[in-house]
Amino acid sequence: MMDFVFTVIITTYNRRDLLPHAIQSVLGQTFTDFELLVIDNGSTDSTAVLAKKAGAQVVRYTKGSYSEARNEGLRQAKGDWLVYIDADERVTPLLRQEILAIVTAPKYKLDKSAYAIPRRNIILGREMHYGGWWPDYVKRLYVRKCLKTWSGEIHENPDFEGELGHLDNPMVHLKHDNLHDMIEKSNVWSEKEALLLYQTNHPKMVPWRFGRIFLTELFYRLVKLQGFRDGLEGVIYAFYQAFYRFMVYAKLWELQLGKLNIKN
């Protein structure tokens, strides 16, 4: 088995429009002892073909959740270090240099086994600085032997040994481009969240809970985290976040009444 200094793992599904750009951002220069691994969650478009053309090793994995797909990347990777990115994320030149400096440093100089990377979130065509969207740290760089597993149906969480560090240079996250796609994704993810709440025997939904949920989320995003400072896009997205929370609990209400059947 060939060993690499590090492996970049991209987990994706039907992202032919985004994946090539994500790969190109990683391949900004020629690396030595570098592995590129794409975990394809059963794409029906040309995502896998484009990944292979870009020089990635493609692993088809359709057995479980997003966390389980990340675990498949962990199992398949040969690098001493692992870097996880998504198809809608971009590695900037400065971030690439910072990662390279860490993964190629002498082991005795390293006191961290995992690193969180800040993200510049582009939402509705605008980079968001408020509303909770900056610095938006995500844990994505690991010493392979220290990363044990990923878990979580909705928001994946890593279990690792050692201390966490924070990188200075951000990656770019093309989070949401338009309202149509946002609403389509929300319809899927809100059902997943509603089902998780239902399975934990959440208290029965009553009218006052809906108002509290919507207004609390709106105040948190728009006022407390100053989402209004990102202009009209920031205001729209704050209302969207409140609407999303409302959708989750409205679907929970349907589950409690037996009006909604969601396959686990």
CATH at residue 152: 3.90.550.10
Q: Do 40 and 153 belong to one domain? A: yes
Name residue 164's beta-bridge partners.
Answer: 114
Q: Which of 117, 122, 126 is nearest to 169 (CA)?
A: 117
Q: What is the tally of structural domains in the chain?
A: 2
Checking if the pLDDT of 242 tops 60, the result is: yes
| pLDDT tens readout for residues 42-96 | 889 999 999 999 889 999 998 888 899 999 999 999 999 999 999 999 999 999 9
Q: In angstroms, how far is the first alpha carbon of the chain from the final one? A: 38
Q: Do 45 and 84 belong to one domain? A: yes
Q: Do 34 and 147 belong to one domain? A: yes
Last residue of one domain, picked from the residues 135, 155, 175:
175
Q: Do 31 and 61 belong to one domain? A: yes
What is the average pLDDT value for the chain, to the nearest integer? 92
Residue 45: inside a domain, yes or no?
yes
Residue 264: inside a domain, yes or no?
no
Q: Do 145 and 229 belong to one domain? A: no
Residues 182-192 have a mean pLDDT of 92
CB 132 within 8 A of CB 234: no
Token readout for 56 is 């990635």
CB 78 within 8 A of CB 145: no
Residue 263: inside a domain, yes or no?
no
Last residue of one domain, picked from the residues 159, 175, 191:
175
Question: Which pLDDT does position 263 carry in this prediction?
Answer: 63
Q: Do 50 and 166 belong to one domain? A: yes
Checking if the pLDDT of 111 tops 50, the result is: yes
Q: Do 182 and 154 belong to one domain? A: no
Q: Do 144 and 239 belong to one domain? A: no
Q: Do 120 and 17 belong to one domain? A: yes
Residue numbers of the domain that contains 165: 4-175
Q: Do 138 and 253 belong to one domain? A: no
Question: Which pLDDT does position 239 carry in this prediction?
Answer: 97
pTM for this model (two decimals) = 0.91
Q: Do 20 and 131 belong to one domain? A: yes
Q: Do 99 and 229 belong to one domain? A: no
Q: What are phi and psi of 171, to 5 degrees?
A: -100, 160
